[in-house]
Amino acid sequence: MPLYVDRDASKLWRKICAETSMEVSLVAENWKPLLAGIIFQYIHGLAAHGIHYLHRPGPTLQDAGFFLLPELGQDKAYISETLFTFIFCSFVLWTFHPFIFQYKKIYTALIWCRVLAYLVACQILRIVTFYSTHLPGPNYHCHQGSKLARLPPPESAIELLVINFSRGVNYGCGDLIFSSHMIFTIVFVRTYHKYGTRRCIKQFAWLLAVIQSLLILASHKHYTVDVVVAWYTVNLVAFFIDKKMPELPDRSTGLTYLPLLPVSREKDSRSMEEHHKLLSGVSVEISN
């Protein structure tokens, strides 16, 4: 029994090493779009932070979603954030599943290039819209009389540039049209729908996206228009980006050009063949 466990552990380790080597090479080839997408997440946070200084609290606008849905209340607002965290973490873990599982359809680096392209395009549109018209925030901490409704004028440029992302997500005001939570949710669900393999999970993911929309409204974190605009804008943006970007290679059909791990001169052709099988997700039996 101990020998069997050791052999399986060794096989898993070699699989992880092979996958890491391949993904590192893909990151080296695509580092510019990956880095640009990551940097823009900071720029988007900076824009959301800036609009909070311009926010002017006022009466909550009449909203169909607020009228139709029961209000969760301030003490239950965490439910919406909990579901969003679950969707976010589940998607991130799925993008790294090729490092562990046998069946591999995607390349982690390439899928994140595509996801970041979706996010950046949507976030650019979002920044333009919420700076164009300033709406009074419907969230509880954005109401008149709340200390968090308006930020005091910045005392230095550093105060403007340093962002507390957690505080901005939970206590931001003014960055309304359209919902950032729904951008991430729809991008993640849509990406899994296209590149995932489990039909039941795809259907469950879309159901979670709908529930997330309703929870955002019931928590009064956004107006209905913020959620509705996100639904059609994100899907349209993703549709046009898919038309412009080359389709991702389906690795389940086998490898073509991706690099191998370096092997010593003493290794024979069988080692090379085993390495190919590890990368393509085919199990390798090691004889005694």
- Mind listing the pLDDT tens digit for each residue in 209-235? 999 999 999 999 999 999 999 999 999
Q: Which stretch of 154-163, 183-192, 214-223 has the lowest confidence by average pLDDT?
A: 154-163
| Amino acid 9: pLDDT | 58
Q: What is the mean pLDDT of residues 47-66?
A: 93
Q: Active-site residue 75, yes or no? A: no
Which of 52, 55, 220, 226 is the catalytic position?
226
* Structure tokens given for 172: 């931001």
| Amino acid 271: pLDDT | 45
On the CB side of 14, CA atoms within 13 Å amount to 24
Quick one: CA dihedral 5, 10, 15, 16, positive or negative?
positive
Which of 44, 55, 143, 181 is the catalytic position?
181
Q: How confident is the model at residue 282 (pLDDT cuts 50, 70, 90)?
A: very low
* Structure tokens given for 271: 């080692």
Q: What is the mean pLDDT of residues 187-216?
A: 96
Phi-psi region of 137 (alpha: psi -120 to 50; beta: other; left: phi over 0): beta
Q: Which stretch of 10-19, 112-121, 271-280 has the lowest confidence by average pLDDT?
A: 271-280
| Amino acid 30: pLDDT | 94
Higher pLDDT, 15 or 236: 236
Considering the chain, what percentage of its residues have pLDDT values greater than 90? 60
Q: What is the mean pLDDT of residues 114-131?
A: 97
Q: pLDDT for 237-263, tens place per residue?
A: 999 999 998 888 877 655 444 443 343
Average pLDDT score over the chain: 84
Q: Which stretch of 97-101, 104-108, 156-160, 205-209 has the lowest confidence by average pLDDT?
A: 156-160
Which of 44, 49, 52, 222 is the catalytic position?
222
| Amino acid 4: pLDDT | 45
Distance, in Å, from the CA atom of 223 to the CA atom of 217, rounded to the nearest integer, reads 7
| Amino acid 160: pLDDT | 78
Higher pLDDT, 178 or 283: 178
| Amino acid 166: pLDDT | 65
Residue whose C-alpha is closest to residue 232's, from 146, 123, 122, 148: 122
| Amino acid 260: pLDDT | 36
| Amino acid 120: pLDDT | 98
Instruction: Look at residue 112 and tell me whether its pLDDT is greater than 70.
Output: yes
Instruction: Look at residue 14 and tell me whether its pLDDT is greater than 50.
Output: yes
Q: How confident is the model at residue 13 (pLDDT cuts 50, 70, 90)?
A: confident
Q: What is the mean pLDDT of residues 112-124?
A: 97
Q: Which stretch of 69-73, 125-129, 155-159, 177-181 has the lowest confidence by average pLDDT?
A: 155-159
Instruction: Look at residue 11 and tell me whether its pLDDT is greater than 70.
Output: yes
| Amino acid 37: pLDDT | 97
pTM: 0.83
Higher pLDDT, 23 or 12: 23
Distance, in Å, from the CA atom of 168 to the CA atom of 46, rounded to the nearest integer, reads 10
Considering the chain, what percentage of its residues have pLDDT values greater than 70? 82
On the CB side of 135, CA atoms within 13 Å amount to 19
